[in-house]
Homo-oligomer: A and B are copies of this chain.
Amino acid sequence: MSTASERARMPSIRDVARLAGVSHQTVSRVLNDHASIRPETKAKVLDAIAVLDYRPNLAARALVTSKSNMLGILAATVGEFGPTSSIVGIEDAAREEGYSVSTLNLSATTPEAIGNALRQLAREQVDGIVVLAPQVRAFHVLKGMAVEMPFVSLQTASGSDGVTLSADQVAGARTATEHLIGLGHSDIIHIAGPQDWIEAESRMRGYLDALREADLPTFPPIRGDWTADFGYFAGQELSRRRDFTAVFVANDQMAIGLMHGFRDAGVRVPEDVSVVGFDDIPVAAHVAPTLSTVHQDFPELGRRAVRILLAQIRGEQVPEFGPLQTTLRTRESSAPR
């Protein structure tokens, strides 16, 4: 056990100044590489810094500048594959730019919970917030909240007022559905995500658009909860129906569960029914049958979010990203009718 009480004070900017024979302000200038510093002076200071193993105190800096060099992540996801992958992208991009990252997981999406979370991050003096709250309700709460801080919202409704960012879910879902149509299927049903989720709505819209355009009948979508367990349940239920030959499922987890349900009920994939998922989780390429799905680059989404956020913070021109492209990955689970 180290004696914390006798721990020597960390060297401060003034200690460095003394050793280098300059004023503390000069040291500060070197640290923030200010223009007017003689190279010779700079060298002396850097030397002293190295000798003392000095490192600036971020709290002190945050206090005086009211900036923390910290970004907040507000996540309201139960551990979905997509958002989690995006978070990794956010963290990496932020660290690269010299920002640290404080993450806050939300279990409920009530206005109070979201409000508290935002307040908490504000107290931590984060300079900006990336919101991963893919629920419609959360989106509206945020919209009505007028967050007094730069913030970016991931995977939310496109075309909205605030700065948002997402892969083109509608187009991806449309491509997936068109793929099934191209295989000769005309009776295609959809297992959607929870009603409250924006992505669920977008994917459903893409599905409906594709069917409408091809003049095919649409079916009332089945509402799931993203879990494989629900997919299994749906598979067992659907096995009683014989009015469809293909299913477009709003995410891979449910799709994998669905195939399991079908299997247990004696429905063969893809011989009897074709299945297409969404997200391209790592095991999608290996389940039996391998799952056709829509791939999207979640980490890239996170990286873009950081770039937009930092531009906002620094008052620079905010880069315009087109919607991120999705890619259809055709595998065994979808076959000609």
Contacts and interface: CB of A to CB of B under 8 A. Distances in A.
A317 to B, nearest CB: 13
Q: Assembly of this chain: how many copies?
A: 2
A2 B92 contact: no
B105 A103 contact: no
A125 B59 contact: yes
Contacts of A229: 285-286
Given A257-B286, A260-B290, A88 B59 contact: no
A29 interface: no
B287 A58 contact: no
A119 interface: yes
Interface in A63-77: 63, 68, 70
A119 B53 CA distance: 11
A115 to B, nearest CB: 12
A23 interface: no
B285 A228 contact: yes
Interface string A35-67: 000000000000000000001111110110000
A46 B119 CA distance: 18
Interface stretch (A94-102, A176-184, A200-208): A94-102
Interface of A: 2, 7, 55-60, 62-63, 68, 70, 79, 84-85, 88, 91-92, 95, 100-105, 107, 119-120, 122-125, 148, 227-229, 231-232, 253, 256-257, 259-260, 263, 281-283, 285-288, 290
